Amino acid sequence: MSKPSRKVWLITGASSGFGKSLAEAVIANGDIAVITARRLDRLQAIAQGNEDRVLPLAVDVTDAAARDKAVADTLARFGRIDVLANVAGRGVVGACEEFSLAQLREQMELNFFAAAEMSRAVLPQMRKQGSGNILTVSSIAGLVAMNAAGPYCAAKFAIEGWTESLAIEAKPLGIHVTLVEPGAFRTEFAGGVNMRPVHSIAAYRPMVEPFETYLEGSAGKQAGDPAKAARRMLEVVASDAPPVRLMLGRDAHSIWDATIAKRLEDINSWRARGEDTAFDDAGFEEIKL
């Protein structure tokens, strides 16, 4: 099947941050974009002057009916979906124990279930086409646990595992799936949009306050350029061999390198005892993945 001259993108969270930068890059590249977020006025401003190939839709990605309608509207208008970009998300600032169960569920609903279900909603069309790309924006916090961000890390760890499994399953069908793992970029993430816990426990202040101070001090000063991140995402989609993971930012790579070293040290410190847990007469059979 020949590739379309202009790709059709469906982008969530397109009113700000990575989503807005990606939408602008897609439009500048001459592609077709269906841009979604809760704030329609911001989307309309992005689409202005390109309404023939940019469709703004007010969508709450945690609403199943809204997700399905966005996919249906995209297909009705443009006939196909070449790229899904799962960008919508929200961070947190607070200790694990301070958040309510409802807040934990809200984090999972937005940062895990919405992205997973959005992917499942476009997969039938991509399977029919025999082609497609799914980009899911995770975070370095989807690979590395951080203090004062437990619920966010939990949701991102979950989407990492789910998406990597999907990447393995979808590749033989012509569908490429990529996790995008940014470090600190100059978006609204460091501002006041992050979820705050309903409880405050004084014992956790020494662990939480440094993260709060970092976010407040770094807002608007982060090294990461969202426009460059968007260009990397376009390059992934254009590639014949896109990566399963696109880690963005020197800081993210540095954190990952240090974490891997610590993780291996921790695991290996108990490795002999951990391996010595089989029945005495059991053989060893390596699991093939």
Q: Which residues form the catalytic set?
A: 138, 152, 156
Q: What distance in Å separates the CA atoms of residue 76 and residue 79, rounded to the nearest whole number?
A: 6
Task: Provide the Cα torsion 253, 259, 260, 263; round to 10°.
Answer: -170
Burial call 179-206: b when 16+ CB within 10 Å, e when fewer: bbbbbbbbbbbbeeebbebeeeeeebee
Residue type, 254: S
Cα of 205 vs its chain's centroid, Å:
29
Closest CA to 179 of 126, 265, 248, 109: 248
* Helix (H), strand (E) at residue 10: strand 8-11
Decide if 35 contacts 8 (C-beta within 8 A): no
Integer angstrom CA distances of residue 174 from 80, 82, 85, 245: 15, 11, 17, 17
Burial call 56-87: b when 16+ CB within 10 Å, e when fewer: bbebbbeeeebbeebbebbbeebebbbbbbbb
Q: What distance in Å separates the CA atoms of residue 124 and residue 274, rounded to the nearest whole number?
A: 42
